[in-house]
Amino acid sequence: MKPSIVRTVGIALAMALTGTPMVAPPPAQAQSAVGHPEWPGRGQLFVGVNYQPIDRSPEQIRQDIAIMKSAGFNLVRMGDLSWDSFEPEEGRFTFEWFDDVLDQMHAAGIGVVLDIPGQPAPIWLHKKYPGVDIVNQEGVRLNAATRYWDNISDPDYRRLAKRLAERMMQRYAKHPAVIALGYDNEIGNGQLSYSPADRDRFVAWLQRKYGSIEALNRAWATQRWSRRISSWDQVDLPYVRGPGPNERYLDLRRYWSDDTIGALEDLEAVRKRFAPNLPVASNLWPTAWTKGFNYLRSWDRISTYGAQGFYPGDPLGAGFEVMMNRASHETPVWFNEFTAGGGGYYGTPGRSRMWAYFGLLYYSQTFLAWTFNSHIGGEEQSLFGLVDHDGRPSWKVDEFGQIAREFGTLRKLGFPRYGQPQIAVHYSFETNWLTSPPPGPNTMKEYFKGDYGDQVKAAFAPLFQDNLDAAVIDAGHDPIRNYKLLILSSAYLMDKETAEAVRTYVAEGGTVIMTGYSAKADETGKWFETPLPGRLSDVFGLRTNEFYRSDQPLKFRFGGEVLTGTDNYYEVLELSTAQPLATFENTPGKSPAISINRFGKGQAIYLATAAQPSFIGPLIRSLYARLGIERGPVTPPGVVARSVDGRTLYVNTTALPATVTFAGTKTGVLTHREYSRTIELGPFGVELLQ
């Protein structure tokens, strides 16, 4: 389990969960990590739990499965965190204990997500192959004192993790209980390593990327402060905790990202050989602050479903991260770990049920509580599962049983949701890395004040409030031509791929909003030596090289109202072909606050400050009618809703009652009550009206 938020079933599903004969998908589907929406499992909703049988005796396992079956659970996730239970010493595999648990799950009608436990690595592996140990940037070798302190770039680690995956997939790919695979729980977590071997692998990566020392020197601007490199032997690993120039830090993050993706691709290659019938739903953690990886430029190579550990904080952040996890998958999202109570050690009744319904609104299909039994030891011994430490089921079992029963009805009423949103919000892992430099002398901290993720969420917020779906994608990777609106908030790094995609999108008729802070640096992390916004100045019909911070809140008139901002950063727009839509009222030059430019068949809109709700909300909403975007159901703050197949699902995310108004008379699917024009939702209350 991670301490904060932000992360098609296979042929066996038909037999294990529906009682119908198993039918293998066509070969073309089986070979694709992206999967296919018509695989068995379309229209299913899965409610269950994470289960670690290594903690339980045979008698406890029998009792646990009986509790799961009685509660109506139809899916569990097992295998994670258990490498040394499958391979207690190198080359000696012990699968029989797991065979028995799988057989019992199948007999109970419960499907299994088989998680290949590549992390944490066993102690025996660390002791025999010290290259798997982490070496910190001070050169100190660290014992594997806590989870995920594994150097997954080490060749011995990769070889042995791949062999474990081969053995497990060969043994279980055809087991009727196993319906999906997961790789390396919470991969993306962990630490960067600084051994001599790590430095050599980094240099080899740079050689492949740049080809020559001359190209590396240009990319890293080594002429500054006498940092020129004359041979590959002179290259050092940049310090992740600083100090160091941004250009090198960016490549350091890219290197470790590529390394993590490479580990996942190793396992995906094994799946294609030994388990092509099974889809992949890995509990990834690409946003982990310790390491992370560029998920939005790799999701289609490593996953069938977006999957994550769902431990939500605020609803806006939760919705944003789920949609980032979904990326451009055509399949729903799987919560491979799902909040079990939350809100304290033991939890709050009703909270998990509310978040499960919230997940339904955000394209989710699978809800696996973390965890079944409360742990008696280790790093999570004070985290309570569904079953207490003494083995007695808590109220959480009943709550998840209620979710399972209700979802059995909802899966026939348009859930899980499929399809793609009409609006996309751009997110760049590389911009996040570049605008979050390590400690040390760096003027980035003075220029880019605030958090990049918060800037993007500010652009996502009006859509969240209006109950509109919005994809969170990397516009330089995923196709964008079918979106009616594309929003680039503080898109500081503008590489060639993203610039070309935006240019083509607008030329072919698309509408884009871009905000201040955008298109300042190229893919090396250096500022453009061309008019800004770099690579897109002509698309937006302007030049914006000057920027300032006002000593008072920014104001401008738009849509008949005077709007007041919360961020005093602004850019001076020098318009060429663009036209002003609004003008700052209290800046020295009274420069344009919003401009619009016709480019090809489309339009490019520039907001000359950071994304902030008071500015970007009215701007986005002014485009709905023109672009044919219909707002979602109207709800009070704290209530989220979507209309699905002619019915409307309302979810009160707050611990206070809420009143929702609507037209006419409707019937509640969950309560079977009739409502006329209003419905009172209790704390964490939900209802589906038809």
pLDDT per position as a tens digit, 540-585: 999 999 999 999 999 999 999 999 999 999 999 999 999 999 999 9
Structural domain contains residue 347: yes
| Domain shared by 397 and 486, yes or no | no
pLDDT of 287-316, one tens digit each? 998 999 999 999 999 999 999 999 999 999
Contact assessment for residue 301 and residue 33, using Cβ atoms and an 8 Å cutoff: yes
For the chain, the domain total comes to: 4
Q: Which of 493, 458, 498 is nearest to 609 (CA)?
A: 458
Say whether both 548 and 610 belong to one domain.
yes
> What does the pLDDT look like over 77-114, one tens digit per residue?
999 999 999 999 999 999 999 999 999 999 999 999 99
Whether pLDDT at 9 is above 90: no
Percent residues over pLDDT 70 in the chain: 94
Domain for residue 124, yes or no? yes
pLDDT for 41: 66
What number is the average pLDDT over the span 643-661? Answer: 97
Task: State how beta strands 178-183 and 111-116 pair.
Answer: parallel
Q: What percent of the chain has pLDDT over 90?
A: 89
Position 250 in a domain: no
In a domain, 632, yes or no: no
- Check pLDDT > 60 for residue 55: yes
Residues 82 and 140 in one domain: yes
**Do 404 and 374 lie in a common domain?**
yes
Indicate the pTM of the whole model.
Answer: 0.94
On whether both 494 and 536 belong to a single domain, the answer is: yes
266-289 pLDDT tens trace = 999 999 999 999 999 999 999 998
Strands (E), 38-89: 46-50, 75-78
Which pLDDT value is given to residue 15?
A: 31
Please check whether residue 270 lies inside any domain of the structure. Answer: no
pLDDT at 228: 97
330 in the same domain as 201? no
Are 202 and 185 found together in one domain?
no
Same domain, 173 and 304: yes
Mean pLDDT of 209-235: 97
Q: Is the pLDDT of residue 31 over 60?
A: no
User: How many Å is the Cα radius of gyration of the chain?
Assistant: 26
Domain of 204 in residue numbering reads as 196-236
Identify whether residues 212 and 156 lie together within a single domain. Answer: no
> DSSP letter at 634?
-
For residues 649 and 644, give the distance between their C-alpha atoms in angstroms, rounded to a whole number: 8
Q: What per-residue string of b and e applies to 54-72 under the rule 16 or more CB within 10 Å gives b?
A: ebbeeeebeebbebbbebb
CATH number for the domain spanning 525: value is 3.40.50.880
Q: Of 176, 210, 236, which closes a domain?
A: 236
Contact by Cβ (8 Å): 73, 109: no
Q: Are residues 585 and 650 in the same domain?
A: no
24 pLDDT above the threshold of 90: no
Distance CA 527, CA 570 (A): 18
Give a yes or no: residue 257 inside a domain.
Answer: no
Domain containing residue 645: CATH number: 2.60.40.1180
Least confident of 404-408, 447-451, 499-503, 506-510: 447-451
- DSSP secondary structure code for residue 472 in this structure: E
Written as six digits, the tokens of 404 are: 């399972």
Contacts of 417 (CB under 8 A, 6+ apart): 332, 360, 361, 363, 642, 644
Among the candidates 578, 606, 627, a domain finishes at 627
Residue 22: pLDDT band (50, 70, 90) is very low
Both 559 and 428 in one domain: the answer is yes
Instruction: Give the residue among 149, 125, 153 at the shortest CA–CA distance from 260.
Output: 153
Q: Taking a C-beta distance cutoff of 8 angstroms, is the pair 24, 38 a contact?
A: no
Phi-psi region of 137 (alpha: psi -120 to 50; beta: other; left: phi over 0): alpha
Averaged over 536-543, what is the pLDDT?
98
Q: What is the pLDDT of residues 107-140, one digit of tens each?
A: 999 999 999 999 999 999 999 999 999 999 999 9
Same-domain check for residues 483 and 354: no
CATH classification of the domain holding 88? 3.20.20.80
Contact 511, 603 (CB under 8 A): yes
Flag whether 269 is in a domain.
no
- Please provide the size of the chain in residues: 690
User: What is the DSSP-derived secondary structure letter of residue 439?
Assistant: S
Question: What is the pLDDT at residue 446?
Answer: 85
The mean of the pLDDT values for the chain is: 93
- pLDDT above 80 (res 29): no
Could you tell me if residue 254 is inside a domain? no
Cα separation, 251 vs 229, in Å, equals 16
pLDDT digits (tens, 9 = 90+) for 479-525: 999 999 999 999 999 999 999 999 999 999 999 999 999 999 999 99
Q: Dmax over Cα atoms in the chain, in whole Å?
A: 78
